[in-house]
Amino acid sequence: MISVSYVYDTIQTLIRKDQKGNSFSISEFNRLAKAVNYELYNFFADKVGESSKYREAVKNFITLQEAISLTSGVGDIPTDYGRLLGQPYLVSGSDVIPVDEMEETEKAWRLRDTLTKPTASYPACIIGGVDGGGVSQITVYPNTISTVYIDYLSIPATPILDYYITSTGLYVYLDQGATGVSVPAGAVYSDGTPGPVSKDSQTIDFEWDEDQIPILIDMLLQKAGIVLDSQIPIEYGVAKQTKEEA
């Protein structure tokens, strides 16, 4: 996990070191962090089968052997589902039976053809469609199968930095998971609510490992249109912020 406040403060340090002023607001940071987070995720997710280094990069998002209960062959996909890893499968004792993923356009002829019709030993599925509540579904054939398993990449949580501003203009960051935070009199919470008031933190940290910090910072700076004179300020900013955090 990477603290969003750490990333934001590091960027501010970089900008000041590069003599570009204090021009990156938290609201802009939150807006761009969402886009950067998904771009980085999609980059690694698209390449996860190419090399172990890409799989290592997304290891925090991997869910293995997720059981999906089926009713008449239909089950709900997990709400955090992002990308399928490999094929769905069945587990029967010590045996793992792969489930062939087919397209909707194949269904009619495959279910009718005696050579391609799915069986308990050679099942097939379609991932797609939603139920009445908008939940994505998987349909497995034959519909007598009660449980199917998937390995998948979950969708990353959207990072956000929550805060309040004191009467003297000091920004106070809220830690992820903090509840009942006392916003003092004269301060203003991030949504504009004046203190005194009690708030639960809305902060969500980046789910990446720390080796992705330079990439995140570089992508955020690019999105903000901030071009540093060299890479030296980036190295300085990360080192300085790490020392201050310690």
pLDDT-based confidence at residue 239 (cuts at 50, 70, 90): low
Question: How does the average pLDDT of the chain come out, rounded?
Answer: 90
pLDDT score at 140: 96
Is residue 232 pLDDT above 60, yes or no? no
The domain locations on the chain are 4-50+157-245, 62-154
Q: What DSSP string runs through the chain? A: -B-HHHHHHHHHHHHHHTT--S---HHHHHHHHHHHHHHHHHHHHHHTTT-HHHHHHTGGGEEEEEEEE-BTTEEEPPTTEEEEEEEEEEEETTEEEE-EE--GGGHHHHHH-TTT---SSS-EEEEEEE-TTS-EEEEEESTT--EEEEEEEEPPPPPB--EEE-TTS-EEEPPTT--SEEE-TT-EETTSPBSSEEE----B-B-S-GGGHHHHHHHHHHHTT---S-SHHHHHHHHHHHHHH-
Is residue 185 pLDDT above 90, yes or no? yes
pLDDT score at 230: 57
Express each pLDDT in 123-173 by its tens digit: 999 999 888 888 999 999 999 999 999 999 999 999 999 999 999 999 999
pLDDT score at 244: 52
How far is C-alpha 32 from the chain's CA centre? Answer: 14
Whole-number Cα distances in Å, 37 to 28, 54, 156, 220 = 14, 16, 8, 9
pLDDT-based confidence at residue 17 (cuts at 50, 70, 90): low
Q: What's the rounded mean pLDDT across residues 186-201?
A: 97
Q: Which of 65-69, 92-96, 212-216, 226-230 has the highest mean pLDDT?
A: 65-69
pLDDT score at 156: 96
Is residue 16 pLDDT above 80, yes or no? no
pLDDT score at 166: 97
pLDDT score at 50: 87
Cβ(148)–Cβ(91) under 8 Å? no
Express each pLDDT in 98-128 by its tens digit: 999 998 888 899 888 888 899 999 999 999 9
Show the tokens assigned to 75.
């089950």
Is residue 236 pLDDT above 50, yes or no? no
Q: What's the rounded mean pLDDT across residues 67-95?
A: 95
pLDDT-based confidence at residue 212 (cuts at 50, 70, 90): very high
Cβ(137)–Cβ(74) under 8 Å? yes
Q: What DSSP string runs through 43-104? A: HHHHHTTT-HHHHHHTGGGEEEEEEEE-BTTEEEPPTTEEEEEEEEEEEETTEEEE-EE--G
pLDDT-based confidence at residue 9 (cuts at 50, 70, 90): very high
Q: How far apart are CA 183 and CA 195, in angstroms?
A: 5
Single-letter amino acid code for the residue at 42: N
Is residue 238 pLDDT above 70, yes or no? no
